Chains A and B, each alone.
Chain A
Amino acid sequence: MAAAAGEEQQLLAQRLKAAVHYTVGCLCEEVEEDKDVQFSKQIIAAISDITFRQCEIFAKDLEMFARHAKRTTITTEDVKLLARRSNSLLKYITQKSEELASSNMEQKEKKKKKSSTAKGERIPGEQEAAVTENEDSNMT
């Protein structure tokens, strides 16, 4: 049973790695066009491997930050704290989170008009979505 679970975990990790590799490839293509340079296959593989490992560190740090603030849900505040080391990155992330917050507000306003019930359940989901998107931009 444990062996089967471990195998499943490994498969999941492989799928995740493949997904990261694909996205890194797409991003590298964009940079290639933009800067007029070429990335070799090995470099793209290396970057995707680094990204995958960095995600591990990010996940642990974000978890720690959320726990530090006595929360179990990671919010944009935690992500901002993660990006504090680099000033320009912090600026970028803060700007992005503000954009997200304003668009979230608009959506909430619309929902309020439709129905004022069951909004408490939606908020955590929205915040989680915000975090993943922020982390993606962190990767670039």
Chain B
Amino acid sequence: SERKPREPQIPRSWIKEAFRHFAKMPVTTDAYRIVEKCCERYFQQLSDDLEAYTHHAGRKTVEAADLEVLMRRQGLVTDKTSLNVLIERHFPLQYRKLLIPVAVSGNKVISSS
């Protein structure tokens, strides 16, 4: 059988689920297709930006600091909301543990609901 190797992408079902979670209203199939396209564009832009920020710091490896700078530019991380607050708000516990070990060992677990 001849299967074309597909471009790496986020599973469609995952995008659909995440979008539905935030939209809280019916979304047509066409709209989902556009959301998928936007996700692709988003990742292209993201990698370009991260590359620029990493090179700017004189590195070749993308580090957490680069992502934080990017998220600050996007207006997601601000003086009032730090990256850790966003991690606690949006990540499931298992990933939160990896990123902020202190938060869990202090028995201060904030539920993401």
Task: Give A contacts to B, CB under 8 Å.
Answer: 61, 64-65, 68-70, 77-78, 81, 84
Q: Among residues 84 to 111 in chain B, which have CB atoms less than 8 Å away from a CB atom of chain A? A: none
Q: Contact between B69 and A64 (Cβ–Cβ < 8 Å)?
A: yes
Q: How far is the CA of A105 from the CA of B15 in the complex (A)?
A: 52
Given A68-B65, A84-B49; A77-B73 close (CB under 8 Å): no
Q: Contact between B53 and A81 (Cβ–Cβ < 8 Å)?
A: yes
B52 interfacial contact with A, CB 8 Å: yes
Query: How many A-B Cβ pairs are below 8 Å?
Result: 23
Query: What is the size category of the interface that chain B forms with chain A?
Result: 10 to 19
Q: Contact between A68 and B49 (Cβ–Cβ < 8 Å)?
A: no
CB neighbours (8 Å) of B16 from chain A are: none
Q: Contact between A68 and B57 (Cβ–Cβ < 8 Å)?
A: yes
Q: How far is the CA of A65 from the CA of B58 in the complex (A)?
A: 12
CB neighbours (8 Å) of B65 from chain A are: 68
Q: In terms of DSSP, what is the predominant structure of the interface of chain B?
A: helix
Q: Ordered nearest first, which 8 A-B pairs have the shortest CB separation?
A: A69-B57, A68-B69, A68-B57, A69-B56, A81-B56, A84-B52, A64-B72, A64-B69
CB neighbours (8 Å) of A68 from chain B are: 53, 56-57, 65-66, 69
Q: Which residue of B lies closest to A61 (CB)?
A: B73
CB neighbours (8 Å) of B58 from chain A are: 69
Q: How far is the CA of A61 from the CA of B77 in the complex (A)?
A: 12
Q: Which of B49, B56, B66, B69 contacts A77 (CB 8 A)?
A: B56
Q: Which residue of B lies closest to A77 (CB)?
A: B56
Q: Which residue of A lies closest to B59 (CB)?
A: A69
Shortest distance in angstroms between A61's beta carbon and chain B's nearest beta carbon? 7
Q: Which residue of B lies closest to A78 (CB)?
A: B56
Q: What 1/0 mask marks residues of chain B from 55 to 77 whose CB sits below 8 Å from any chain A CB?
A: 01110000001100100110000
